[in-house]
Structure 1
Amino acid sequence: MTAPLTPLQRYLGGYPPNLLAQVQPLIDAGKLGENLLKRYPERHGVQSDKALYDHVMALKQARMRSSEPVSKVAYDNKLKVIQHALGTHTAVSRVQGGKLKAKREIRVASLFKAMPPEFLQMIVVHELAHLKEKDHDKAFYQLCCHLEPRYHQYEFDLRLWLVAQDIGQIQAA
């Protein structure tokens, strides 16, 4: 029987050991949450599905006009961080008038309602990038960085935030 994953392994398992070794002392000293709250003190105001839709569409219009249209954007209470991703993108296909039509949907985990705006931006960029790039490959991450130059830093810090929540150093909303 294998031991359960620690929060550090669960959220940062793919990162190099030397980077994890830099995080561990902050966890041990009880300072990880404090450091993150200093770096990201604000929470965004995008609280409703309509506000989220408007937020996503504004970014899409500004940076990805030629990408496929998005028909629905919503927060999703059913998305769990470990079992699923932090957000999803789907293409719902339907036959309409003898033609196959696909509607794109973006769902964002509800935990993002109480997050710093940078983390919401990171997940929105991630899901929008999937409109053009399906796989998590080099082209996908290049597009993410084009849409949000600090994408990788925000993703890493979000993972640290989730560790801090898991160990009780940041309170989940």
Structure 2
Amino acid sequence: MMKLNYLSGYPSALIERIQALLDQDQLGIWLKQKYPSRHDIQTDKALYQYVSDIKQQYLKNSSALSKVAYDNQQHPMKGTLGTNTFVARVQGGKLKSKNEIHIASLFREAPEAFLRMIVIHELSHLKEKDHNKAFYKLCCHMEPDYHQLEFDLRVWLTWRDFSERERS
């Protein structure tokens, strides 16, 4: 029996249901029915445009993004699916600031709903730096199903890890 690392903290009934689906080799089928297709946002340029469109829709007055890119260094087992960095530098007599968002490369093969969820998470950090009530309220404003998508993403990561172990 595989330890379901991504699902720790969830109620035991949910974890048992996911474990049962894994044991019956049905988890991938369930995920495929719920999220049938991958997205076509494969390049950093396309990702930048995708993130900019969402930002424009919900966070027009927030800081500009200087870079959005897929990142091979982001890894879910290390606790990072995406990062939002803010750098402020003094250049001459002016204060220059940059916001960058990096998304784990594994989202290239994920369903679009999961990419959207992680993008919304990172965009929310433009307004709220901490994972507090206001942060999650903003996430849910931009994506009403945010919490369900976060759970389903964790299930997808669990299935992905299980599938990789089975292949090796």
TM-score computed with the length of structure 2 as normaliser: 0.93
Query: Aligned AA for 1:32?
Result: L
Q: Distance in 1 between matches of 2:165 and 2:123?
A: 28
1:54 alignment counterpart: 49
Deviations 1:24-44 (A, max 9, x none): 211111111110011111110
**Which residue is equivalent to 1:19?**
14
Contact residue 43 and residue 115 of structure 1 kept, 8 A: yes
- Counterpart of 1:153 (choices 138, 148, 152) is 148
1 CA distance for matches of 2:106 and 2:61? 30
Query: Is the CA contact 1:92–1:103 (under 8 Å) kept in the aligned structure 2?
Result: yes
Post-superposition shift, 1:123?
0.5
- 1:83 corresponds to which letter in structure 2? K
Give, in whole Å, the separation in 1 of the partners of 2:119 and 2:36: 20
What are the residue-to-residue correspondences of 1:42-81 with 2, within 5 Å? 42-81=37-76
Task: Provide the aligned length of Structure 1 versus Structure 2.
Answer: 166
Report if the CA contact (8 A) 1:56-1:124 is conserved: yes
Q: Are the aligned partners of 1:7 and 1:167 in contact in 2 as well (CA < 8 Å)?
A: no
Whether the 8 Å contact between 1:164 and 1:170 is mirrored in structure 2 is no
- Report the counterpart of residue 125 of structure 1 in structure 2: 120
Counterpart of 1:165? 160
Identify which of 28, 31, 43 aligns with 1:33: 28
**Deviations along 1:68-100, whole A, 9 cap, x unmatched?**
111110000111111131000001221112233
1: CA distance between counterparts of 2:56 and 2:165?
34
The answer for unaligned runs of 5 or more in structure 1 is 1-5
Separation in 2 of the partners of 1:22 and 1:31? Answer: 11
Which amino acid is the alignment partner of residue 83 of structure 2?
Answer: T
Take 1:34 and 1:97, find their aligned partners in 2: how far apart are those partners? 58
Unaligned runs of 5+ in 2: none
Greater share of residues in helix:
2
**Alpha-carbon deviation of 1:20?**
1.1
- Aligned counterparts of 1:21 and 1:7: Cα–Cα separation in 2: 11
Paired residue for 1:3? none
Matched residues in 2 for 1:118 and 1:124: separation?
A: 10
Q: Residues 37 and 45 (structure 1 numbering): CA distance in 2 closer, same or farther, change over 3 Å?
A: same
Give structure 1 regions of 4+ aligned residues with deviation exceeding 6 angstroms.
169-172
Normalising to structure 1: TM-score of the pair?
A: 0.90
